[in-house]
Amino acid sequence: MKQPLAIAGLLASGGLFLAALVASAQNRPAATPPAPTSWRVPLGVAERGAVLAQTCLACHGEDAPAMDPAPPRLRHQRASYIYAALLEYRDGARKSDLMEPAAQALSDQDARDLAVYLSGEMLDQPPRARSDLAIHRRVLQQCTWCHGETGIGEFEGMPVLTGQDPAYIVHALRAYRDGSRTSPIMRGVVRDIAPGEEAALADYYAAHDWLEKAR
């Protein structure tokens, strides 16, 4: 699937994208100094994150055009995961032609503020597992130790998969398989997942309600 012309032009011109970030930076409200907090739960200023997120929402927003590869849904994602991912893109530990230049201008506090705003509030209760789906047994064998039965998981820094765009999950699994994503744990997991199972696993997590596109 071809990206819309506007998005393709954005990708082709890193200068335009960085210019948008600089313009956004000039309009940032002053950050409120955060109170001491655990490293596991980044403390950010949601109002400041809302200003910084205007560039992000071109791809991650509710009304963003379809893209290939699909961008992840971020609303109700763990703030600690978004924060860690932004720093990895900024520091070159995680690769993306779009996200690496986007993250270059971010301070640690910027990343915290974005994470808090984009994630929003976590929901109260996890959904009931779709044990009626044939792939459920495979999920129990391969995925529940880290991600839980429905994809929410228990660890700070762990991505929520519940309700994620299935095209994004498939893309991520294939990236671990080909080495463009480097998590040693996930590289080991995908060795035991047949390529034909990727779509079924993605559809399983997408069948549960949780993540939404950011508003």
- Report pLDDT digits (tens) over 38-60: 555 668 999 999 999 999 999 99
Q: What are phi and psi of 75, to 5 degrees?
A: -65, 125
pTM, rounded to two decimals: 0.81
Q: Does domain 136-206 have CATH number 3.40.1120.10?
A: no
Q: What percent of the chain has pLDDT over 70?
A: 80
Residue range 144-173: mean pLDDT, rounded: 95
pLDDT at 114 over 80: yes
Q: What is the pLDDT of residue 30?
A: 54
Q: Where in the chain is the domain with CATH 1.10.760.10?
A: 5-119, 136-206
Pick from 150, 146, 169: nearest CA to 158 = 146
Q: What are phi and psi of 189, to 5 degrees?
A: -65, -45
For 20, phi then psi, to 5°, come to -65, -40
**Cβ contact 52:116 at 8 Å:** no
| Protein fold of 5-119 | Cytochrome Bc1 Complex; Chain D, domain 2 (1.10.760)
How much is the pLDDT for 123? 86
pLDDT at 24 (0 to 100): 52
Question: What value does the mean pLDDT take over residues 191-210?
Answer: 95
**Mean pLDDT, range 144-155, rounded to an integer:** 94
For residue 73, the SS3 value is: coil
Q: If pLDDT is split at 50, 70 and 90, which confidence band does 16 have?
A: very low
Q: How would residue 36 be classed by pLDDT, with cut points 50, 70 and 90?
A: very low
